[in-house]
Structure 1
């Protein structure tokens, strides 16, 4: 049986991957700074490697005795002065170096759909620079490219909860975001899979108008939508870039770019966005 290392087990997707491995009785080791977070999320790793991922020295030997590395490491909101290059690129490069040194057989990395086409965005640039290095590493690899998590869709839910939704264009851009539970199955299946590149989305392809309607209906709120034209989107991005730091601008740039295009990937899974919004609504009561 393969011995798996998960980097990012305390994050949204990493937590679901850990639980999927746990359910399959698969050996896995986690790299965490705070083991209490694993216990709080009901994750029982076979081994815990206590380290700070951004500290290269602290992760030495983290891959010793490991066959498969699964990394979901990345930041959506910059903190502690760290940049996308510090985390999405350099942390994964450090992991790759350790993987090569320890003779790891396969490295599975979770990037983003269309990342190779969106390298003008700082987050995608960092991720794709690592992808390039992974492909050259000599280690067997799999790049998984989801088109958005259900957790990202909470922004729509929160807008609907506030009483008004703001959508780009005419609200007809399409996407099929995927639940972490479904994506975790794809990631774990990739251990024995042969595909080098997997694009994946959820089971429903929805327009932004349809996502908005689902959110308003779940909340029982009247449908109120303001549409943001392309010229205004570009103007907002220019102003935000001019008057804010990269910590704030990076996530805004990514969100307002991917929401102004179709983000459709092959359909997979069973969890629906309506179910997820209902869960959020029940938690907020």
Structure 2
């Protein structure tokens, strides 16, 4: 890692989202100078300080971004949607909104752009969510700016589906459940994102400290509720049938996230191990809070 510089302005887009909120809090912890942009800035008022400025802007509307990157050294963007809503598509948000930011950055001499995509995004460009993300990645790579593409594994928050099934008494997995992944907590990833401001690495895939099988994640979910595991394994053809069906008979807004999760669940998704937060601890807290 190169030396840190606390006097450079960091612009954070997507601060009201899961990861963005953790990055904003970490900026505050490190006493960094930053600008947080949001469509509804009141959601970020608790972060406002002499070092962090809250600005109203909509990344999907380029005219609201004029001048917002003046004197900014680095942009960090977590902008993206899992489910299409408000009439906006993946291309509107994951691609075009980030492109709006990039175009403004080029006009004002921003040095670096850090963009959060998803693990193996470059290998699954056929998926609607990743098609849009990686289309922006291609634009960023030829922009002339310094950049880092961060491809995180699933977030701990994405693992709540395991907890919900465990709460109901059964967890259903596709195949033998031995596929590997190492999900990461947003708090850990936020620290890495800010460390990357002064790093020269171009692309990085990252996950949490523990590499687990789907079966092991299911067991952790049951343990969090103090229940005996009841794990049901469905043949992989069921996954493929569901995947075909949602693509055939539903809209992109419905099948987009399902297509993404059903495809990635079939393979190992293991990235560089990073961070300190443990999934078992996260599950225990979530289970306790749900009682």
When normalised by structure 1's length, the TM-score is 0.97
Match of 1:62 among 68, 81, 104: 68
The answer (yes or no) to whether the contact 2:37–2:54 under 8 Å persists in 1 is yes
Query: Which residue number in structure 2 is paired with residue 221 of structure 1?
Result: 227
Q: Secondary structure at the match of 2:266?
A: coil
* Residue 131 of structure 1 pairs with residue 137 of structure 2: yes
The answer (yes or no) to whether the contact 2:44–2:54 under 8 Å persists in 1 is no
* Residue 283 of structure 1 pairs with residue 284 of structure 2: no
Aligned ranges 1:176-255 → 2 under 5 Å: 176-255=182-261
* Residue 44 of structure 1 pairs with residue 54 of structure 2: no
* Residue 20 of structure 1 pairs with residue 26 of structure 2: yes
The answer (yes or no) to whether the contact 1:22–1:44 under 8 Å persists in 2 is no
Unaligned runs of 5+ in 1: none
Deviation at 1:239, TM superposition (A): 1.3
Query: Which residue number in structure 2 is paired with residue 73 of structure 1?
Result: 79
Match of 1:259 among 265, 288, 291: 265
- In 1, Cα distance between equivalents of 2:194 and 2:200: 12
Unaligned runs of 5+ in 2: 1-6
- In 2, Cα distance between equivalents of 1:138 and 1:74: 23
- In 2, Cα distance between equivalents of 1:268 and 1:14: 18
Query: Which residue number in structure 2 is paired with residue 117 of structure 1?
Result: 123
- In 2, Cα distance between equivalents of 1:250 and 1:221: 33
The answer (yes or no) to whether the contact 1:175–1:262 under 8 Å persists in 2 is yes
For each residue in 1:101-157, what CA deviation from the matched residue of structure 2 results, as whole angstroms up to 9, or x when unmatched?
Answer: 111000000111111100110111111111111010000001111111111111111
Query: Which residue number in structure 1 is paired with residue 173 of structure 2?
Result: 167
Match of 1:157 among 160, 163, 168: 163
- In 1, Cα distance between equivalents of 2:232 and 2:78: 34
When normalised by structure 2's length, the TM-score is 0.95
Q: Secondary structure at the match of 1:74?
A: coil
Q: Secondary structure at the match of 1:67?
A: strand
Q: More displaced, 161-170 or 204-213?
A: 161-170
Match of 1:96 among 79, 102, 105: 102
What is the root-mean-square deviation of aligned Cα atoms in Å? 1.1
